[in-house]
Amino acid sequence: MGRASRKDDILQAALACFSEFGVDATTIEMIRDRSGASIGSLYHHFGNRERIIGALYLEGVGQYAAMLEAGLAQDMGAESCIKLFVTCYIDWVMANPDWARFVLHNRGRVEHSEMGDELREANRQQGRRIAELLRMHREAGALRDMPLELFNSVVIGPTHDFVRNWLAGRTRIELKDCRDLLAQIAWESVRA
């Protein structure tokens, strides 16, 4: 595995600062000190602190999307597909709890920032891919017919709620212990 780029170093330093001090309390100087980058390098790669926040958010959701896409690239039936939505999400959160907390708490901030259009486009692209896959399974009679917006809430909603509680330390049950049960619940909720 190759060495991380300066840009990646800065993003990881930013995540560490945001996790330790909070997004609003973290300054560009704190990120510079943690990353070892010069102010010039920070501004060269990102331009300002808000763009660091946006880039970190997009990188996090991009990692999850890539993990999901790798699974969806396999030819799978409807049940495996639906369960994959849940298990990929849980696997990414367990591997990246600080990043997951950051993503959960900063979506609105990024949506309303200068990087909002980039986030919306990434979501549109992934949404189109998923909608096509679901359409094929629905036409094959494997999935119950419902609006796509509702479908996402039914499949991921219970998992998302439990993940938020787990990340906040409000549950004694480990996330990994709920992974298969949440995936099964998602499948049972949408199968025809």
Tell me which H or E stretch contains 101.
Answer: helix 97-111
Q: Rounded CA gap, 141 and 123, in Å?
A: 26
Tokens of 52: 């660091």
* Domain ranges within the chain, ordered by starting residue: 1-47, 57-190
* Angle at CA of residue 73, ends 15 and 120, nearest 5°: 45
1-47 CATH? 1.10.10.60
What is the pTM for the complete model shown? Answer: 0.90
Per-residue pLDDT of the chain (192 residues; tens, 9 = 90+): 445 688 999 999 999 999 999 999 999 999 999 999 998 999 899 989 999 999 999 999 999 999 999 998 887 899 999 999 999 999 999 999 999 999 999 999 999 999 999 999 999 998 898 888 899 999 999 999 898 889 989 999 999 999 999 999 999 999 999 999 999 999 999 999
- The domain defined by 57-190 folds into Tetracycline Repressor; domain 2 (1.10.357)
Radius of gyration of the chain (CA): 18
